[in-house]
Amino acid sequence: MSIEQLAETAQAMVAPGKGIIAIDESTNTIAKRFAGVGIENTEENRRAYRELLLSTPNLGEYISGAILYDETIRQSAKDGTPFTKLMAANGIIPGIKVDKGPQPLAGFPGEVVTEGLDGLRARLEEYYKLGARFAKWRAVINIGDDIPTGTAIEANSHALARYAALCQEQGLVPMVEPEVIMDGSHDIDMCYEVTEVVLRSLFGSLYEHNVMLEGTILKASMVIHGTDAEEKASVEEVAASTLRCLKATVPATLPGIVFLSGGQSDQDATAHLNAMNQVRGLPWPLSFSYGRAMQQAALKLWGQDMKGNYAKAQDTVFARARDNGLAALGQWQGG
């Protein structure tokens, strides 16, 4: 695939007023989510839940793409339509999570590096044939006593860059996700400092690996206080700090940035995105790639009554997509 085609896909992913829904939870992760609402973790329940999300009426008005899991990209709706074809019919671009998750970084207690590069070229080739047009790889950066170290940041940036180069080789837009974890008592200034170093390292590695930024999307964490911080930053402070950090580190040639919710409440994730988009003249579109912040209210409803609440759960998914789509334009009114 040419850089023009990759760039076209990347631009479609961050089309005005649209964002990405992340439904790429591993089998173990979805088991925890299901357990929280009393749903048995069976393959059929996982399939039915993903169908509920992907078949939400008019979802394509506010959702440009969806990140799937290996199991999900191979599944079909109850009428036999493959999920990827169902998505394409609704104007939603299929994406796929391709990393194998974070593992302890040997010699560096408290730090991790994401694995999954072995055999990745062949997996990407298969996913393209299955209908995927973009992929996602998540790196995890923890903040704590004397961490993150430069070694951990460099190791994760290197892995993200190798993954991104392989994606583009196979015609997939790489979504690079260096998540600075909210867990901890650090303040917003510490988060800013770490996020700036991480993003500088990432884009340096992407450049060294000849990754074409015009066909790449950044999935970023917001610059925000830790979950246990004594001092909580306001919506305006989070928005201002995040924008300042991005302007200092992210090249203007990037087609767009989508944010992860990263443990924020549904309302906070939307409010922060909205506040950032009220600033005009930014070099790139800012949108969303939310998982829990898009799903958790709907999952709770569906768990209470799988058949009776099906339509209500879909209405909730659509409402969350609409609110975040408006926030991606800076037009969300709250509520």
Residue that the structure tokens 């950090």 belong to: 245
Position 262 pLDDT exceeds 90? no
Q: The whole model's pTM is what?
A: 0.96
Catalytic-residue membership of 219: yes
d(C-alpha 155, C-alpha 144), whole Å: 18
Position 249 pLDDT exceeds 90? yes
Average pLDDT for 198-213 = 98
Catalytic-residue membership of 25: no
* Fold classification of 3-327 (topology level): TIM Barrel (3.20.20)
71-85 residues labelled b (16+ CB within 10 A) or e (exposed):
ebbebebeeeebbbe
d(C-alpha 255, C-alpha 253), whole Å: 6
pLDDT tens for residues 310-319? 999 999 999 9
Catalytic pick from 25, 51, 177, 179? 177
Indicate the SS3 state at residue 281.
coil
pLDDT tens for residues 150-198? 999 999 999 999 999 999 999 999 999 999 999 999 999 999 999 999 9
DSSP 8-state symbol, 144: B
Catalytic pick from 18, 97, 136, 219? 219
CB 227 within 8 A of CB 184: yes
Average pLDDT for 2-31 = 95
Q: Write down the pLDDT at residue 293.
A: 87
